[in-house]
Amino acid sequence: MLFKKIIVAASLALVAGCTTVPITGRRQLTLVSDSEMNTLAVTQYKETLTTSKLSTNATEVAMVRRVGQRIQAAVEQYFQQQGQSSQLAGYQWEFNLIDDSKMVNAWCMPGGKVAVYTGILPITRDETGLAVVMGHEIAHAVAKHGAERMIDQMLAQLGTTAVSTALTKNPGATQSIFASAVGTGTSALAQGALLKFSRNQESEADHLGLIFMAMAGYNPAQAIPFWERMAAQSQNTTPEFLSSHPADATRIADLQRLLPEAQKYYKPR
């Protein structure tokens, strides 16, 4: 698998770009362009919303939008400070709450398309708990983890030779790989294909997510009890959120290590 990745990386070096993940500074190969990812996201997001029941609980919907907009503002401010605002070009942020009490999940597609399912609200408990989840998911998106997972999935499902042409010649397969790569909704779940983020990506999303929530005025220390509640939940069933984001001792230890840096960004409102 690693060998295949190197071949693809080499053969696509001319068409693919290389970018740097903000805050962590990790260099990453981006095989799929931002505009291609955003186009796939718009289609997939529209399909998810039309096939789902949107929440009519005005208080909860307003909370999801408020947390989302505050984190969006933090992300924009952070990228501006880093001189990387261009990475957010083409973002059309949207924050929706889907009414499904059995679905313990939330995600953010490339381009800032966010969905929270009502099933996760008993575990987030309050606005700060929700900011942990949304900060983490938005961090996966702005760090382009979906594009990285797409490379892995395309290699696994289509093979090396097909990867570079799949986007134009095999749009159906591309769309379904996209769905499982960004961890969205039911189509991927039905196939049992919801992918785990790598440990590296999880750690990066925790790091960025803590800083974004802190900049948005939410206490980042609340991330630790949130992940502990999530882990406790898994003793009965494995929620969708945990199948793509394992909550384990490594994560809690990571969060504790990252907290002092995030606290410097925190100004309570």
Q: Which residues bind Zn ion (CB under 5 A)?
A: 197, 202, 205, 245
Q: In angstroms, what is the minimal distance from the CB of 139 to Zn ion?
A: 8
Q: In angstroms, what is the minimal distance from the CB of 269 to Zn ion?
A: 26
Q: Among all residues, whose Cβ is closest to Zn ion? A: 245
Residues paired with 106 in a beta bridge:
116
Q: In angstroms, what is the minimal distance from the CB of 266 to Zn ion?
A: 21
d(CA 187, CA 207): 29
Which two tokens mark 122?
Answer: 């008993």
Nearest to Zn ion of 45, 197 (CB atom):
197
Q: Can you tell me whether residue 246 is helix, strand or coil?
A: coil
Q: In angstroms, what is the minimal distance from the CB of 183 to Zn ion?
A: 8
Nearest to Zn ion of 8, 145 (CB atom):
145
Nearest to Zn ion of 202, 240 (CB atom):
202
Residues 155-190 as b or e (16 or more Cβ within 10 Å = b): bebbeeeebbebbeebeebbebbbbbbbbbbebbbe
Q: In angstroms, what is the minimal distance from the CB of 31 to Zn ion?
A: 21
Nearest to Zn ion of 116, 167 (CB atom):
116
Q: In angstroms, what is the minimal distance from the CB of 203 to Zn ion?
A: 9
Q: In angstroms, what is the minimal distance from the CB of 205 to Zn ion?
A: 4
Contact assessment for residue 195 and residue 181, using Cβ atoms and an 8 Å cutoff: yes
Q: Can you tell me whether residue 218 is helix, strand or coil?
A: coil
Between helices 199-215 and 249-263, what is the axis angle to 10°? Answer: 30
Nearest to Zn ion of 202, 254 (CB atom):
202
Nearest to Zn ion of 125, 199 (CB atom):
199
Question: For the chain, what percentages of helix, strand and coil (3-state, to nearest 5) are there?
Answer: 65, 10, 30
Nearest to Zn ion of 167, 218 (CB atom):
218
Tell which residue, 203, 202, 213, has the closest CA to residue 78: 213
d(CA 101, CA 223): 22
Which two tokens mark 81?
Answer: 């400070």
Q: In angstroms, what is the minimal distance from the CB of 56 to Zn ion?
A: 29
Nearest to Zn ion of 188, 205 (CB atom):
205
Host H or E run for residue 179: helix 171-181
The CA radius of gyration of the chain, in Å to the nearest whole number, is 18
